[in-house]
Amino acid sequence: MISPEVRLTGPTVPLTGGSRLSGRLVVRNTGREVERYEVVATGPLAGWVTLQESEVRIWPGEQREVGLTVTLPTGPAPPAGASEIRVVAIAGDGAWGEARHPVQVAPHPQAELQAPVPHAIGTARRALVHLVVANPGNTPLDLELVARDREGRLAHEVHRSGARLALAPGQAFTVPLLLRCTRPTWLGRSVPRDYTVEAVGTVAASTGGVLVQEPVLRPWWILVLVAVLLLVGTVFSGDAMFVAMLIGVTTLAVVALRRYSRLVRGGPGGR
């Protein structure tokens, strides 16, 4: 068995995601008989190398050129850094030759931050949402999550070991994020508060959601109290009326304080 001579000329510029670069393979028959060679791309970039021909027939002492193209995706593979193109020419009798060409895969860092789930949530004090942070690029990322709102009425806390995330290429994390209203609203209408979450690092990504801040006291509580007082007023008078009003106001105050205490001390998502 006489191995063929195989030479490979590939791209000289860094390979970038979405690019299409060309090269050529030269196979020389060093034997004394006509030989048919199968040419196959191998190595770390084999999945992105396309050969114009998969088989060549070469006379003794002659050579053939086979064109090749390298087309990289924009995803996490192949990773950025030094790599190589490998092509093997295999004769019918099993003799083979290999050519290698070093290349550089250019980095394309990317970060994705999906919208919080749920996108809109109502609460009087605090709420828990979930974010998906992903690294679709081909380089590791070190990101920090920061939540902001225009009015400065929300505070946030990331439920992980710190607000910084280290993501390998192709990796994604689901991150619980606790949002808290800095000042309660006792009475009135529910107020929507838009907020944004940013992933800041080598690259940046952002998303947003809505926290609807509800009042601590439910309006229908007061309506029920007024209705009860009017009913008592039509039946009783004097001291009985005063006692009924005192009991009603006291009951409302106790319920409000218990609700506020639960919202402040309780777990996330309390309404």
Query: With contact defined as beta carbons under 8 Å apart, do 140 and 168 qualify?
Result: yes
- Separation CA 53–CA 68 (nearest Å): 9
| 79 or 220, greater pLDDT | 79
Predicted confidence at residue 17, as pLDDT, reads 87
pLDDT over 70 (residue 244): no
- Separation CA 102–CA 12 (nearest Å): 9
Enter the tokens of residue 82: 């030094």
Nearest Cα residue to 199 out of 177, 231, 228, 222: 177
Q: What is the pTM of this model?
A: 0.71
Lowest mean pLDDT among 29-33, 74-78, 195-199, 226-230: 226-230
Other Cβ atoms within 10 Å of 243 Cβ, number: 12
- pLDDT band at 234; cut points 50, 70, 90: low
Average pLDDT of span 6-25: 90
> String of b and e for 12-30 (b: at least 16 CB within 10 Å)?
eeebbbeeebebebbbbbe
- Separation CA 248–CA 251 (nearest Å): 5
pLDDT over 90 (residue 56): yes
- Separation CA 93–CA 97 (nearest Å): 12
What are the tens digits of pLDDT across the range 178-233? 888 888 877 778 889 999 999 888 898 999 999 998 887 766 656 666 666 656 55
Average pLDDT of span 67-88: 93
What are the tens digits of pLDDT across the range 98-142? 999 999 999 999 999 999 999 999 888 888 899 999 999 999 999
What are the tens digits of pLDDT across the range 139-179? 999 998 888 888 888 887 765 444 688 999 999 999 898 88
